[in-house]
Amino acid sequence: MKEHYFDDLKIGDRFRSEPLNVTEKEVVEFALKFDPQMFHLNYKAAERTLFKGLIASGWHTAALTMRLFVQTLNFAEGAIGLGVDELRWPNAVRPGDVLAVETEILDLRPSRSKPGYGIIRLRNVTTKQHGEIVQTMLASAMVPRRVDARDNKTTDHKTTD
């Protein structure tokens, strides 16, 4: 997978992850550790809820989205999450669903406080097999710049931190 730096990206760039299968075992394991509610834990109990069956925790979907994002963008030295807005789960994820994440770069600016880094603003949309949207979010992350861009490059991006 190609490594990315801040300086490789342009506003409007889009990336699509590989597909990822969600298993019942993983849904239940995540719920036992992090979201022990009946519609995430047990098929029988989940059938009696609004969802009429087992669904993944929204936080499980968010964590799987992070995995697909990290694997797809593959930032050199990593991406440091600064914050997330408008995190929504419009449709449920169920065991057997196949997720994919589309990332769109919305904004790019060099960091003022850390010259070796840039701040990216992005939208991640997580879909399942027939294109149904299961999660949307806006996020900001700090990612490294290429060494030759760190000290002297001027850009036409916004420069206010």
Task: CB nearer to a second copy: give 78 or 96.
Answer: 78
- Tokens 């097999």: give the residue: 129
* Residue among 93, 128, 103, 96 nearest 19 (CA): 128
Task: CB nearer to a second copy: give 66 or 133.
Answer: 66
Min dist. Cβ of residue 85 to a second copy (A) = 6
Task: State how far the Cα of 129 lies from the Cα of 98, in Å rounded to an integer.
Answer: 5
Task: State how far the Cα of 124 lies from the Cα of 155, in Å rounded to an integer.
Answer: 25
Min dist. Cβ of residue 53 to a second copy (A) = 14
Residue 12, burial from CB neighbour count under 10 angstroms (0-12, 13-18, 19+): exposed
Task: State how far the Cα of 154 lies from the Cα of 141, in Å rounded to an integer.
Answer: 21
Beta bridge partners of 115: none
Residues of this chain that interact with a second copy (CB under 8 A) are 30, 33-39, 49-50, 57-60, 62-64, 66-67, 70-71, 77-89, 114
Min dist. Cβ of residue 36 to a second copy (A) = 6
Min dist. Cβ of residue 7 to a second copy (A) = 18
Cβ atoms within 10 Å of 49's Cβ, excluding its own: 14
Task: CB nearer to a second copy: give 69 or 127.
Answer: 69
Task: CB nearer to a second copy: give 15 or 39.
Answer: 39
